[in-house]
Chain A
């Protein structure tokens, strides 16, 4: 199966920030979580992907097609939700439906209405009177209602209450049941990504630190709780980060670099990320 997204050597320069030779692959039928702190470059990467901003260098392929040449056509098959949903203030459900029906070839009114009901969105309320959470839900409903093959979500679950976030996560998971469907999701709510994603990519200060299958990461790394002396006896290559505390040291380690018998506990993606960033800093 072809990759849903292939980014090679992506460079985007600003005065005080640079997205530096980013390589990223989202295999078809998978969910890739893009994790990074604020200002890491997640949104910049996504905007370059969608052609909202111009890249300085690099190639981008979406659903097997060259984004430089066929971007407008590709967008028929891409559903996008950014952190801010832009719809004219005075539009209600009916107007939004009319516009989207004329915009997307594969717009499905019944599916859109279904998501409006599922998310409990009022049909007679103007968009400007929606709460932030309702606006995000509207954005998600629109993205899911034109038979997209790829969803690109940039902080799309921010502002949603935990119950709806859980529901939306289930919907995204359901979306990828079809092996032709893929999702690229960026967030700093790492717990959502941990539940949902097959692949994880860490981005920090414009560079991709890691791009790996989630299960492999969780198997490969662990948290070691020990003393400084014990830690100093380990192979330095096995240690990816450490945190000293009152009761000893916690270190992010590669399991195969740690002798048996040491106190290892499973690592979460969030811990993995925090330790790696602190180590770089």
Chain B
């Protein structure tokens, strides 16, 4: 499992231009936060929507380059292959959340905005960043169509981003509500993992 994680991390590091747009969006949101004097929890999902495709890109690239066949010869069980992908989602989401929180926090400090909304925004970021892959990964393993699923996911993510910005004033959660949503997301992720393992066990790699 460690080998697969290392490979995925190296791939993500080499795909750093992919971070340009999420970073730009985060900066814009930080400016909006500073200028408006308040945190918008809806910005969490909007920014997360640009991050959470990255782990799916890893799977699509494995299929394109044939690395999934190479993976089949390595001493890693199918359960651990799936586990590595879900762990990657978690790591990338956490890293993204920290980065986004830092940038938004700086924007808030510059605009003298109270920090209370930052935690809610961060939690909503994590919720979106974990929900989308949790829904997508079983579909990818079932249909073996990473690019198609990614395409649909991108459409959904664009819709989330647009709706989040349009209704940012109307969407307001307490930290408690966001925490409950996060807990539910973790449960969803666990269920998604079990479904993916069941599907992948029956799947032929090529």
- On A, residues with C-beta under 8 Å from B are 47, 50-54, 71-76, 78, 80, 82, 84-91, 95, 98-105
Docked pose: A80 CA to B14 CA in angstroms: 27
Binary interface profile of B, 14-39, with partner A (CB < 8 Å = 1, else 0)? 10000000000000000000000000
* Bound CA span A84–B65, Å: 10
In chain B, positions 48-77 with a C-beta closer than 8 Å to chain A are 61-62, 65-70, 72-77
Number of interface residues of B (CB under 8 A): 28
A86 near B204 with CB under 8 A, answer no
Given A53-B206, A98-B10, A99-B6, is A75 in contact with B67 using a C-beta cutoff of 8 Å? no
Are B206 and A52 interface neighbours, CB within 8 A?
A: yes
Q: How far is the CA of A62 from the CA of B3 in the complex (A)?
A: 23
Complex: chain B residue closest to A152, CB-CB: B73
Chain B residues 104 to 150 lying within 8 A of chain A, measured CB to CB, are none
Interface pair B69/A102, CB less than 8 Å apart: no
Given contacts A52-B204, A85-B66, A104-B3, 8 further A-B contacts (CB under 8 A): A47-B206, A53-B206, A84-B69, A86-B62, A86-B68, A87-B65, A88-B10, A88-B65
B11 contacts A by Cβ under 8 Å: yes
Contact A91 B6 (CB under 8 A): no
Measured CA separation A131–B6 after assembly (Å): 26
State the CA gap A71–B76 with chains docked (Å): 9
Does A86 lie within 8 Å of B75, measured CB to CB?
A: no
* Cα separation A100 to B205 with both chains bound (whole Å): 20
CB neighbours (8 Å) of A105 from chain B are 75
A residues in contact with B14, CB < 8 Å: 90-91
The residue that B67 contacts in the complex, of A73, A74, A88, with Cβ under 8 A, is A88
**Closest approach, in angstroms, between the C-beta of B5 and any C-beta of chain A?**
8
Question: CB within 8 A of B65: which of A53, A54, A78, A86?
Answer: A86
Q: Which A-chain residue is minimally distant from B13 (CB atoms)? A: A95
Q: Which residues of A contact B69 (CB under 8 A)?
A: 52, 82, 84, 86
Q: Once the chains are docked, how many angstroms separate the CA of A133 from the CA of B14?
A: 25
> Is the pair A72, B75 in contact by a Cβ cutoff of 8 Å?
yes
Q: Identify B10's interface contact among A76, A99, A104, CB under 8 A.
A: A99
3 A-B pairs with the lowest CB-CB distances in the bound complex, closest first? A86-B66, A103-B3, A80-B73
Q: Which residue of A lies closest to B203 (CB)?
A: A54
Closest residue of B by beta carbon distance from A98: B6
What would 15 A/B residue contacts be, using CB atoms closer than 8 Å?
A50-B73, A53-B205, A53-B206, A72-B75, A72-B77, A73-B75, A75-B74, A76-B75, A86-B62, A89-B65, A99-B3, A99-B7, A102-B2, A103-B2, A103-B74
